[in-house]
Amino acid sequence: MYPKNRMRRLRATEGLRDMVEETTVRTSDLILPIFFDETLDEIRTTPSMPGVVTYPLKDFDNIASEITESGVRNVIVFGVPSEKDPYGKQAYSANGVVQRAIRGLKDCSDLTVIADLCLCEYTDHGHCGVLHDGHVENDETLELYAETAISQADAGADMIAPSGMMDGQVTAIRDALDRSGHSMTPIMAYSAKYCSAFYGPFRDVACSCLGRGNRKEYQMQCGNRREAIREAMLDVEEGADIIMVKPAMSYLDIIRDLRERTEVPIAAYQVSGEYAMIKAAATNGWVNGTAIMKESIQSIKRAGADIVITYFAKEMAELLR
């Protein structure tokens, strides 16, 4: 007659709701992407990424304390070099923009500093590797990734995050790190990185727009689910310490698939387009930006991610305090 099972009983008060909340977000789960441009003298803003700034290579104290004061403990660093060339040489220069940024941050803070490893911000054609007849050459690119990993670890990076989607990149980087005295430096592999239109605003910030072509020959096509499992399994076999799904919100099923098949920690990248859409709607007053930020990050964790890379990290950390 009356329902014996009343789901509403445990929803009746805030105390009860909190008690049975299954998924929570902690500040230590969050990674904030940050950008450095060695041609800058002052901070640069990007209209398509409100709230995201690109830093010049100075005042590391201020940059680090602004981040740590929000509560954020982890950052992933991207660099914009002053010079680009076909081989992306500035990506693996000991004095490259990212190497200097890592050193600067490590010298003055306890932040966990992760280095994104890719060539697309450093090549004049904008591809993630070396071009041959208009195609990215896999194995030659791996050698440059290996060099880049060593230079980033030498600079003090706490973790290396290869995002170029070359086959065998985790093996190449693990070998390089091990033979250069960095056997304890973990790898967070962008394992299932889709060829996504959600990266648009990132390319405005990181100045990594493609001259010609697209990234379909190495990034995954968005309809594929089984392939993501193969990618991730290969990365785990190759020694990835953490695997990543990117973007996050349109790929929550992939996060769940991987959660059910692997024991390694899973990261998910809430990418620039996801952030920009929420910010744009919130700025117009069309949605409640704070509520959507929280809901979106929580849903990524509920899908199975342990770690969320997000441009909201500072705002979210402040909300959690």
Which residues of the chain form contacts with ligand PBG (CB under 6 A)? 116, 118, 120, 128, 163-164, 199, 202-203, 271-272
Report the Cα–Cα distance between both ends of the chain, in Å, rounded.
45
Q: Please, which residue, 7 or 275, has the CB nearer to ligand PBG?
A: 275
Q: Which residue is nearest to ligand PBG (CB)?
A: 202
Q: Please, which residue, 208 or 262, has the CB nearer to ligand PBG?
A: 208
Residue 3 Cβ vs ligand PBG, minimum distance, rounded to whole Å: 46
Q: Please, which residue, 128 or 236, has the CB nearer to ligand PBG?
A: 128
Q: How far apart are CA 87 and CA 98, in angstroms?
A: 16
Is the dihedral angle over the CA atoms 249, 253, 255, 259 positive or is it negative?
positive
Q: How far apart are CA 304 and CA 317, in angstroms?
A: 20
Give the angle 104-108-110 at the CA atoms, nearest 5°.
Answer: 110
3-state SS assignment for residue 196? coil
Q: Active-site residues: which are they?
A: 193, 246
Residue 49 Cβ vs ligand PBG, minimum distance, rounded to whole Å: 9
Q: Check if the beta carbon of residue 109 is closer than 8 Å to that of residue 34.
A: no
Residue 214 Cβ vs ligand PBG, minimum distance, rounded to whole Å: 10
Residue 304 Cβ vs ligand PBG, minimum distance, rounded to whole Å: 20
Q: How far apart are CA 147 and CA 130, in angstroms?
A: 14
Q: Please, which residue, 104 or 201, has the CB nearer to ligand PBG?
A: 201
